[in-house]
Amino acid sequence: MNRLLEGYRRFRAETWPEARARFEELAASGQRPHTLVIACSDSRVDPAVIFGAGPGELFVIRNVANLVPPFAPDGAYHGTSAALEFGVRVLQVSQILVMGHAMCGGVTALLNGAPPEARDFVPAWMRIAAEARRRVLECTPVELAQEACELEAVRLSLANLRTFPWVAEAEAAGSLQLHGAHFAVATGRLMVLGADGAFAQA
């Protein structure tokens, strides 16, 4: 906690004086983010840092392996789907970006099994991407499977996004655009998913 409080004190002393007007504006008028980002919980992959975004610009959903489950409006707990509904239907973002990343621990668990310490929830969650795993292992050498599966999981999450009727309707109406990307932690490079279904350097 001490490290967090030290960071807060730096924020108040160094950042707050310049950012105060922006925070006051956001408090008075509410948030109007232009983009909803679905990213991994991995501590190395912070969308605001990667995209140089300030307060109020991005509505961020983070979970293990940046996955979007299919539309399933039942009585279960759906944190990702609830945040997605709020971002699309209430905040009316104009873009959704699903951003995968290199060395994703969730994808490693999908390919090789979850570590013993993470078997209460991780295996069931990663089953969302079982089809991505199947596709990759059918046609990809084992040594290339990690990155290939990270990319395929982004494609799968985009497909799952379109199972939400209000996402599909907004996209068809032209008021919402869906995008995919992959961030390389070691090099800082971003690849973006093109209309042809391939990832290319941004």
- pLDDT tens-digit profile of 89-118? 999 999 999 999 999 999 999 999 999 999
Asked whether residue 93 falls in the same domain as residue 143, the answer is yes
Asked whether residue 87 falls in the same domain as residue 133, the answer is yes
Asked whether residue 182 falls in the same domain as residue 99, the answer is yes
Asked whether residue 78 falls in the same domain as residue 123, the answer is yes
Asked whether residue 98 falls in the same domain as residue 195, the answer is yes
Asked whether residue 15 falls in the same domain as residue 93, the answer is no
> Encoding tokens for residue 106?
């969730």
Indicate the number of domains in the chain: 2
Asked whether residue 90 falls in the same domain as residue 25, the answer is no
> Encoding tokens for residue 50?
């990667």
28 burial via Cβ count (<10 Å: 0-12, 13-18, 19+): exposed
Which structural domain range is residue 19 located in? 1-29
Which SS3 state, helix, strand or coil, does residue 80 take? helix
CA 122 to chain centre: 17
| pLDDT at position 79 | 97
Residues of the chain above pLDDT 90, percent: 99
Which SS3 state, helix, strand or coil, does residue 55 take? coil
Asked whether residue 18 falls in the same domain as residue 63, the answer is no
CA 92 to chain centre: 17
Asked whether residue 1 falls in the same domain as residue 101, the answer is no
Q: Whole-model pTM?
A: 0.96
Is residue 80 within 8 Å of residue 61, measured between CB atoms? yes
